[in-house]
Amino acid sequence: MPLPIPSDAPTLFIRRAAYEKSELVRAAVDERLGLTADEFRVEGDLVVIGPVFDSEAFATLLEDFERLGLIFYDDFFELSGNWPAWLLVFAAPATTPGRNRPSQPQR
């Protein structure tokens, strides 16, 4: 099921396998970023963290992911949250168990 993405702050998307490989613990991420229960979500192969309002802690987390061997864009990605509130953005993993990849537009 697609997850709604807020427009008021950055949100981090991580492939679940990459998150698990990083050995980061959810409680530590929650404490570090000051997250509520609704700001750390898992949908299929996708971990979604945010919105994150502490920009310094967010930048440090991204640096830590790279230091742990995760690759920006291949393993994790950040949406800035910089779009108008009248636009709804949803995210879902491209592949989910029992579901094929979304079809691509025809050219």
Whether residue 94 lies inside any domain: the answer is: no
Quick: pLDDT tens for 23-65: 888 998 888 898 988 899 998 999 999 999 998 999 998 998 9
pLDDT bucket at 77, cuts 50 / 70 / 90: very high
Whether residue 42 lies inside any domain: the answer is: yes
Which CATH number is 43's domain given?
A: 3.30.70
Domain extent, residue 38, equals: 10-78
Whether residue 33 lies inside any domain: the answer is: yes
Whether residue 62 lies inside any domain: the answer is: yes
Give the chain's domain count. 1
Q: Does the pLDDT at position 107 exceed 70?
A: no
DSSP string, 41-69: EEETTEEEE-----HHHHHHHHHHHHHTT
pLDDT bucket at 96, cuts 50 / 70 / 90: low
Name the CA radius of gyration of the chain, rounded.
14
Q: Does the pLDDT at position 79 exceed 50?
A: yes
Whether residue 93 lies inside any domain: the answer is: no
